[in-house]
Amino acid sequence: MVVILKDGADSKKVKNLTDWLENQKISVHKVIGEYQTILGLIGDTSKIDIDLIQGLDIVEKVKRISEPYKNANRKFHPDDTIIDVGGHKIGGGNFQYFAGPCSVESREQIISIAKDVKKAGANILRGGAFKPRTSPYAFQGMRAEGLELLLEAKKETGMPIVTEIMDASHLDLFENVDIIQVGARNMQNFELLKELGRIDKPIFLKRGLCATLQEFLMSAEYIMAEGNQKVILCERGIRTFETATRNTLDLSAVAMLHEMTHLPVVVDPSHASGIARLVKPMSFAAAACGADGLMIEVHNDPAKALCDGPQALRPEEFAEVTRGVNAIRETVNNL
């Protein structure tokens, strides 16, 4: 951390700041220039509240140089985290498909799609029971009943399931869910993140629509700071000025996150563009740049899907994606 002092900063106050920092085991190095004095802070600054320093009247600016996250930071955990879900591994070179419908709609629908996606190569079944929708008048998901149906599909097919939680008070219902998803809109629902940090289950954390990568990792850190180290990150498109696609899939985030953190990074091309035709090329791209998995919406009748139909693939289209992605991964791994 670098603190730039104001011109003519009161030396007693500077001493107070220095003492306070040194009490926190930060060593302070002073660089005095003609126009500016700079304090270089050396040590573990990840737990220093930057706003406290910024607020001092002797301070012009504060810049962080080290990252404010620790558990999620690759610097301190150089090895890839590998998460095991019912024997299926994610991360550290292990790739998984998370596939299924946007919403659970009926027993027949979810079981039939589960079988289809399993046949096409998916090991983990996705399906929404609680659905965050922009409009209160849109279909809100089958909720508890939808969760029941997902669990039936799990029993029927042996596939672990991932589904979204929208409120910590629903946690009891998720007892038999294998991976709990936190949606983009709840990425900074900090009370929820803390609760999820206290359980022992993988958390599938989606990047918020306007979250920087650092904020994304800080949300992972909320979970990890409470104890739960099993976090899967998911890039699902960010909001930009572009309107031709619903969001802008940020694939550089995959490569950057692999530098910044040891956690696995999954890409969701279905939500990112909102256009089914783009799912195949974007899945190929995600695999080529090193994603650890893909979350893809598949529906046996996309035109009748109760939610997000335009972005869902039919099972045979999904099979084309897995075939291509597997081939690309093999090619890249053999380079």
**In the window 227-266, what residues touch its own copies (CB under 8 A)?**
238-245, 248-256, 259-260
- Which amino acid is located at 97 in the chain? Y
How far apart are CB 22 and its own copies at their closest, in Å? 14
- C-beta of 95 vs 222, nearer to its own copies: 222
- The conformation of residue 313, written as its DSSP 8-state character, comes to B
Which residue, 51, 76, 62, 78, is CA-closest to 6? 62
Stretch that binds its own copies, among 52-60, 91-99, 106-114, 228-236 (CB under 8 A): 52-60
Q: Of residues 15, 22, 24, 27, which one binds its own copies by CB under 8 A? A: 27
Should residue 106 be labelled a site residue for its own copies when binding is judged by CB under 8 A? no
Q: Of residues 10, 19, 24, 55, which one binds its own copies by CB under 8 A? A: 55
Rg over CA atoms, the chain: 23
Stretch that binds its own copies, among 80-88, 109-117, 153-161, 222-230 (CB under 8 A): 222-230
Among all chains, which residue has been given the structure tokens 């669990």? 151
- C-beta of 139 vs 152, nearer to its own copies: 139
- C-beta of 86 vs 227, nearer to its own copies: 227
User: From CA 33, how far away is CA 193, in angstroms rounded?
Assistant: 44
Should residue 36 be labelled a site residue for its own copies when binding is judged by CB under 8 A? yes
User: From CA 142, how far away is CA 101, in angstroms rounded?
Assistant: 13
Q: Indicate the SS3 state at residue 252.
A: helix
Q: Of residues 90, 231, 286, 313, which one binds its own copies by CB under 8 A? A: 286
- C-beta of 159 vs 306, nearer to its own copies: 306
Residues 6+ apart with CB under 8 A from 314: 298, 299, 300, 302
- Which amino acid is located at 267 in the chain? V
Stretch that binds its own copies, among 83-91, 112-120, 172-180, 269-277 (CB under 8 A): 269-277
User: From CA 83, how far away is CA 227, in angstroms rounded?
Assistant: 15
Q: What does the per-residue mask of binding to its own copies show for 175-194, with x meaning CB under 8 A?
A: ----------xx-xxxxx-x
How far apart are CB 101 and its own copies at their closest, in Å? 12
* Count of positions on this chain that bind its own copies (CB under 8 A): 112
Among all chains, which residue has been given the structure tokens 């990150």? 233
Q: Indicate the SS3 state at residue 114.
A: helix
Q: Which helix (H) or strand (E) holds 89?
A: strand 88-90
Strand-pair partners of 172 = none
Should residue 277 be labelled a site residue for its own copies when binding is judged by CB under 8 A? yes
Among all chains, which residue has been given the structure tokens 């991976």? 179
- The conformation of residue 263, written as its DSSP 8-state character, comes to S
How far apart are CB 123 and its own copies at their closest, in Å? 22
Strand-pair partners of 126 = 162
Q: Of residues 15, 119, 155, 323, which one binds its own copies by CB under 8 A? A: 323
Should residue 8 be labelled a site residue for its own copies when binding is judged by CB under 8 A? no
Which residue, 307, 315, 305, 2, is CA-closest to 139? 307
Should residue 144 be labelled a site residue for its own copies when binding is judged by CB under 8 A? no
Q: Of residues 284, 292, 294, 322, which one binds its own copies by CB under 8 A? A: 284
Q: Of residues 129, 287, 296, 298, which one binds its own copies by CB under 8 A? A: 287
Tokens of 286: 């995600």
**Rule CB under 8 A: which of 292-311 touch its own copies?**
302-310
- Which amino acid is located at 65 in the chain? I
How far apart are CB 308 and its own copies at their closest, in Å? 6
How far apart are CB 155 and its own copies at their closest, in Å? 28
Query: 83-85 and 231-235 as β-strands: parallel, antiparallel, unpaired?
Result: unpaired
**Rule CB under 8 A: which of 62-101 touch its own copies?**
63, 65-66, 68-69
List the 2-5 sheet strands across, edge first: 27-32, 37-42, 2-5, 59-63
